């Protein structure tokens, strides 16, 4: 079968000019990493052209489909743009597909001169292969690299959108929700398809549409028809839709007197509701649930367990192939247990009690997406349970979309953490991908940083975090460096100066944020509400007070020293980990310094590896963060004449704000901690610009995405 490309030939003639116009007019970032600007002429372009006159899409059926049409469209657009070149694309029935391609992967192979075969067991694998081919060209790989087989290591690779139905995005810093509920299903914004293209280009295969705190309305027919419209747009791109479920839905939506998961009427209600969802969305992915946490209802309200709660939904979903993602982010204001231990305490005993189509979805760390945390102790502690990892792509605690923080190093740190549960090398990644305990259902979720801002992510460089999450979801063995290199080449340029500068900035950025905000294992000392900027003194007064939402609960600063005491003589959270780690982390002298104040209350005078007292080290680390972000700022400034002016100016402006906020962090935290340490700032630390009262009085933070009016004090 020979297919006519959908894009007329004239497009190809002018693609180069169009690219020029686009560049000359400035670049708004909308195209993400799928830019497809024309390559300069040269041997590599010639080599590509020689390989690609004919592309064969090979599947076991050889039948066309909407997914194969999407692959053809992308190849036509991409190759037309990159090479000014329109290959002949055919679909063929083949059975010599590499078995390693698995359900969603692909093989790429140059079979004869001028022919490249993209083969896959399923059509979506062909689509993934098409994107892989385009990425290889965008990143200027030699043609030998075209021959490859790839398959994802984790089954379900999902973006979680914390989007409310009114368009507000919780912890979203890039505008409003992408989903235009008010005009769906009638109007499908063309942007939905571009969202699906971007996700599919990374191999993501799920989109969870609504906030875990969102109302249950999304499960009513009026909204399900809208959900179905989105699912229809996403389906050709291999993206399945997931929704959040509120545990109390049988009462609130169903009018039942109870939501007890063992009540027969409740069981029947969930079954009927799930059946109804599948009538709208036949390939519906499943439900994400936040229960018994931060005010949400849950099975404990009826004396039942998390497993009871998850299983009632799981049973309803099972016959449709759907899953439950049951979040382990639970903690109670009434608990006397250290907050970072509560999830482990609640869940460990439930190992083996969850249905096969349930995953317990666990944040990377035991607290809440801090700039640095140790891994969550539930990883490795529930071998008979499917465990998903939830990473946060949106920068709730890392400066929102105002600040640069390339998160691949954070994601990798979590995934590569060694739990020791089945001996050394039992990494979190190997638990999540099911290889340690031979689980069939594997899930990785990332809380999206997308919104209606023209560049999708608010900060032009924050697109790299969406990219990094997607690439790691497919293959967690990729390095942060590889991913930064790919993304930069695709999104900016492979020109050595630009590539070298941007990748260097990206790779340094997360540690820089740690240094100027929460170094040495400090955590949860941000401003209340916005979570942006420093607030180590911050205690919510009045009836809303919760110790476990107050920074002093975490930093424990006093005259003696600083840091949470979580060793055996403290909350003993080390006991939640394997003995090897408990021993390492429980000893102040062997605990890695980047987690020191997470696990230990440390004397101001404690001698650090540098030989300096802890107080001096702390001060210098804050200063180092400021120095580093100033360095990053200078690196960016050096690119003024090397990249498009629009993105240049945007990032330049945001880096100015980041430098200012880094200084705020340093000054505010050191002045505050100094009230306990009573020690002078060491040489090399710049004097604060204001006194502590000034920083404590700052109530106005110019901050995107916070609902409601800013408060005024004067």
CA distance 176 to 164: 9
Rounded to a whole number of angstroms, the minimum distance from the CB of residue 15 to a copy of itself is 9
DSSP single-letter state for residue 261: T
**8 Å CB contact between 260 and 304:** yes
Residues in contact with a copy of itself, shown as a per-residue x/- string from 607 to 646 under the rule CB under 8 A: ---------------------------------------x
DSSP single-letter state for residue 613: B
Q: Given the DSSP bridges, would you call strands 323-327 and 88-93 parallel, antiparallel or unpaired?
A: unpaired
Could you say whether residue 21 binds a copy of itself (CB under 8 A)?
yes
**8 Å CB contact between 421 and 430:** no
Looking at the Cβ atoms of 21 and 583, the one nearer to a copy of itself is 21
Q: 57 has which bridge partners?
A: 91, 118
Could you say whether residue 193 binds a copy of itself (CB under 8 A)?
no
Looking at the Cβ atoms of 187 and 545, the one nearer to a copy of itself is 187
For the segment 221-240, give every residue that binds a copy of itself (CB under 8 A). 222, 226
Looking at the Cβ atoms of 545 and 702, the one nearer to a copy of itself is 702
**8 Å CB contact between 497 and 642:** yes
185: which 2 tokens? 């299903």
471: which 2 tokens? 């690439």
Looking at the Cβ atoms of 110 and 176, the one nearer to a copy of itself is 176
Choose, by CB under 8 A, the member of 3, 23, 26, 54 that binds a copy of itself: 26
637: number of Cβ within 10 Å: 13
Nearest Cα to Cα of residue 317 among 209, 240, 432: 240
Nearest Cα to Cα of residue 393 among 196, 160, 163, 207: 160
Choose, by CB under 8 A, the member of 100, 649, 689, 697 that binds a copy of itself: 649
Q: How far is CA 528 from CA 172, 249, 396, in A?
A: 16, 31, 12
- The alpha carbon of residue 642 and the mean position of all alpha carbons in its chain are separated, in whole angstroms, by 29
Choose, by CB under 8 A, the member of 33, 181, 237, 585 that binds a copy of itself: 181
Looking at the Cβ atoms of 523 and 650, the one nearer to a copy of itself is 650
Q: 207 has which bridge partners?
A: 159, 241
**Gyration radius of the chain over CA positions:** 26
Window of 37-45, 202-210, 263-271, 699-707 that interacts with a copy of itself by CB under 8 A: 699-707
**8 Å CB contact between 355 and 133:** no
Choose, by CB under 8 A, the member of 104, 123, 164, 616 that binds a copy of itself: 164
Choose, by CB under 8 A, the member of 42, 113, 687, 707 that binds a copy of itself: 707
Could you say whether residue 704 binds a copy of itself (CB under 8 A)?
yes
527: number of Cβ within 10 Å: 21
Could you say whether residue 113 binds a copy of itself (CB under 8 A)?
no
Give alpha helix (H) positions in 84-190: 123-138
202: which 2 tokens? 């990374």
Nearest Cα to Cα of residue 278 among 309, 253, 242, 247: 242
Choose, by CB under 8 A, the member of 232, 252, 548, 696 that binds a copy of itself: 252
Q: How far is CA 599 from CA 337, 525, 565, 572, 584, in A?
A: 15, 15, 6, 9, 11
Rounded to a whole number of angstroms, the minimum distance from the CB of residue 456 to a copy of itself is 12
Residues in contact with a copy of itself, shown as a per-residue x/- string from 28 to 57 under the rule CB under 8 A: x-----------------------------
**8 Å CB contact between 464 and 654:** no
Looking at the Cβ atoms of 453 and 627, the one nearer to a copy of itself is 453
Give alpha helix (H) positions in 643-687: 645-677
Q: 156 has which bridge partners?
A: 443
Choose, by CB under 8 A, the member of 253, 318, 498, 539 that binds a copy of itself: 253
Choose, by CB under 8 A, the member of 168, 280, 302, 553 that binds a copy of itself: 168
Could you say whether residue 264 binds a copy of itself (CB under 8 A)?
no
Please name the residues in contact with 20: beta carbons below 8 A apart, sequence gap of 6 or more: none
Residues in contact with a copy of itself, shown as a per-residue x/- string from 71 to 110 under the rule CB under 8 A: ----------------------------------------
DSSP single-letter state for residue 352: T
Window of 144-152, 201-209, 210-218, 462-470 that interacts with a copy of itself by CB under 8 A: 210-218
Looking at the Cβ atoms of 49 and 698, the one nearer to a copy of itself is 698
Angle separating helix axes 221-234 and 191-202, nearest 10 degrees: 60
DSSP single-letter state for residue 155: S
Choose, by CB under 8 A, the member of 2, 4, 9, 10 that binds a copy of itself: 10
Angle separating helix axes 123-138 and 480-491, nearest 10 degrees: 80
Window of 163-171, 348-356, 376-384, 487-495 that interacts with a copy of itself by CB under 8 A: 163-171
Judge residue 551's burial from the number of C-beta atoms within 10 Å of its C-beta, 0-12 exposed, 13-18 middle, 19 or more buried. Answer: buried
Q: What is the DSSP track for 543-562?
A: GG--GGGSHHHHH---SSEE
**8 Å CB contact between 63 and 91:** yes
Choose, by CB under 8 A, the member of 170, 180, 494, 548 that binds a copy of itself: 180
**8 Å CB contact between 29 and 645:** no
Could you say whether residue 24 binds a copy of itself (CB under 8 A)?
yes
Residues in contact with a copy of itself, shown as a per-residue x/- string from 133 to 162 under the rule CB under 8 A: ------------------------------
Looking at the Cβ atoms of 367 and 505, the one nearer to a copy of itself is 505
Choose, by CB under 8 A, the member of 2, 8, 678, 683 that binds a copy of itself: 8
Looking at the Cβ atoms of 21 and 100, the one nearer to a copy of itself is 21
Rounded to a whole number of angstroms, the minimum distance from the CB of residue 706 to a copy of itself is 6
Window of 7-15, 516-524, 562-570, 670-678 that interacts with a copy of itself by CB under 8 A: 7-15
**8 Å CB contact between 498 and 525:** no
Looking at the Cβ atoms of 229 and 344, the one nearer to a copy of itself is 229
Window of 309-317, 432-440, 501-509, 701-709 that interacts with a copy of itself by CB under 8 A: 701-709
Looking at the Cβ atoms of 102 and 175, the one nearer to a copy of itself is 175
Could you say whether residue 182 binds a copy of itself (CB under 8 A)?
yes
Looking at the Cβ atoms of 149 and 225, the one nearer to a copy of itself is 225
Choose, by CB under 8 A, the member of 497, 607, 656, 690 that binds a copy of itself: 656
Choose, by CB under 8 A, the member of 255, 264, 303, 611 that binds a copy of itself: 255
| Binding-residue total with a copy of itself (CB under 8 A) | 60
Choose, by CB under 8 A, the member of 186, 438, 440, 543 that binds a copy of itself: 186
Choose, by CB under 8 A, the member of 438, 609, 678, 714 that binds a copy of itself: 714
Looking at the Cβ atoms of 181 and 397, the one nearer to a copy of itself is 181
Active site positions, annotated? 294, 368, 396
Judge residue 572's burial from the number of C-beta atoms within 10 Å of its C-beta, 0-12 exposed, 13-18 middle, 19 or more buried. Answer: middle
Nearest Cα to Cα of residue 396 among 522, 507, 291, 533: 533
179: which 2 tokens? 């989903």
Widest CA span of the chain, in angstroms?
79
Judge residue 676's burial from the number of C-beta atoms within 10 Å of its C-beta, 0-12 exposed, 13-18 middle, 19 or more buried. Answer: middle
Could you say whether residue 187 binds a copy of itself (CB under 8 A)?
yes
Binding footprint of a copy of itself on the chain (CB under 8 A): 8, 10-11, 14, 17-18, 20-21, 24, 26, 28, 164-168, 175-176, 180-184, 186-188, 190, 214-217, 220, 222, 226, 252-253, 255, 402, 452-454, 646, 649-650, 653-654, 656-657, 700, 702-710, 712, 714
């Amino acid at each position: 079968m020979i297919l006519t490309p959908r894009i007329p030939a004239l497009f190809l003639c002018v693609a180069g000019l169009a690219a020029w116009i686009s560049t000359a007019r400035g670049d708004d970032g909308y195209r993400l990493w799928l830019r497809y600007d024309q390559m300069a002429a040269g041997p590599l372009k010639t080599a590509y052209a020689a390989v690609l006159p004919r592309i064969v899409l090979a599947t076991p059926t050889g039948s066309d489909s909407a997914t194969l049409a999407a692959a053809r469209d992308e190849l036509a657009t991409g190759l037309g743009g990159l090479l000014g070149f329109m290959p002949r694309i055919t679909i063929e029935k083949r059975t010599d597909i590499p078995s390693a391609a698995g359900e969603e992967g692909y093989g790429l192979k140059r079979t004869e001169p001028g022919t490249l075969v993209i083969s896959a067991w399923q059509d979506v694998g062909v689509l993934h292969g098409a994107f892989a081919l385009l990425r290889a060209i965008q990143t200027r790989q030699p043609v030998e690299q075209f021959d490859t087989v790839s398959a994802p290591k984790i089954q379900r690779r999902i973006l979680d959108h914390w989007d409310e139905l009114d368009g507000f995005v919780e912890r979203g810093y890039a505008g409003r929700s992408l989903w235009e509920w008010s005009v769906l299903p009638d109007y499908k914004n063309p942007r939905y398809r571009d969202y699906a293209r971007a996700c599919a280009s990374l191999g993501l295969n799920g989109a969870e549409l609504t906030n875990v705190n969102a109302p249950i309305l999304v499960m009513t027919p009026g909204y399900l028809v809208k959900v179905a419209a989105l699912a229809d747009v996403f389906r050709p791109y291999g993206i399945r839709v997931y929704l959040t479920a509120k545990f109390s839905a049988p009462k609130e939506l169903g009018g039942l007197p109870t939501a007890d998961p063992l009540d027969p009427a409740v069981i029947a209600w969930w079954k009927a509701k799930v059946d109804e969802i599948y009538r709208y969305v036949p390939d519906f992915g499943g439900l994400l649930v936040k229960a018994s946490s931060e005010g949400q209802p849950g099975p404990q309200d009826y004396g039942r367990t998390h497993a009871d709660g998850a299983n009632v939904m799981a049973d309803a979903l099972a016959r449709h192939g759907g899953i439950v993602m049951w979040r382990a982010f639970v903690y109670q204001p009434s608990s006397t247990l250290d907050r970072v231990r509560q999830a482990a305490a609640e869940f460990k005993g439930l190992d083996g009690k969850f249905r096969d189509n349930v995953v317990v979805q666990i944040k990377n760390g035991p607290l809440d997406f801090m700039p640095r945390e140790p891994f969550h102790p539930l990883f490795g502690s529930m071998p008979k349970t499917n465990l998903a990892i939830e990473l946060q792509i949106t920068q709730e605690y890392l400066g929102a979309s105002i600040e640069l923080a390339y998160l691949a190093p954070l994601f990798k740190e979590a995934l590569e953490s060694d739990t020791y549960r089945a001996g050394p090398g039992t990494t979190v990644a190997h638990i999540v991908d099911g290889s340690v305990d031979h689980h069939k259902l594997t899930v990785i979720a990332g809380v999206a940083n997308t919104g209606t801002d023209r560049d999708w992510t608010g900060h032009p460089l924050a697109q790299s975090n969406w990219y990094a999450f997607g690439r790691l979801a497919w293959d967690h063995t990729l390095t942060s460096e590889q991913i930064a290199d790919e993304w930069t080449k695709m999104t900016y340029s492979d020109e050595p100066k630009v590539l070298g500068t941007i990748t260097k900035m990206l790779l340094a950025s997360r540690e820089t944020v740690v240094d100027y905000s929460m170094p040495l294992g400090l955590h949860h000392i941000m401003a209340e509400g916005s979570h942006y900027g420093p607030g180590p003194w911050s205690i919510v007064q009045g009836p809303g007070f919760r110790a476990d939402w107050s920074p002093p609960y975490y930093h424990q600063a006093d005259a003696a020293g600083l840091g949470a005491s979580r060793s055996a003589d403290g909350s003993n959270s080390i006991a939640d980990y394997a003995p090897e780690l408990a021993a390492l982390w429980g000893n102040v002298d062997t605990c890695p310094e980047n987690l020191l104040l997470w696990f230990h209350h440390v004397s101001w005078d404690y001698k650090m590896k540098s030989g300096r007292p802890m107080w001096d080290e702390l001060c210098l680390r804050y200063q180092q963060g400021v120095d580093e972000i100033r360095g990053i700022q200078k690196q960016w400034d050096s690119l003024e004449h090397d990249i498009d002016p629009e993105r240049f100016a945007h990032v330049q402006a945001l880096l100015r704000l980041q430098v200012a906020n880094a200084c705020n962090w340093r000054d505010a935290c050191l002045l505050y901690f100094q009230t306990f340490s009573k020690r002078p700032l060491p040489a090399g630390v710049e004097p604060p610009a204001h006194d502590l009262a000034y920083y404590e009085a700052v109530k106005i933070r110019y901050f995107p995405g916070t609902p409601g009016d800013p408060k005024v004090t004067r």
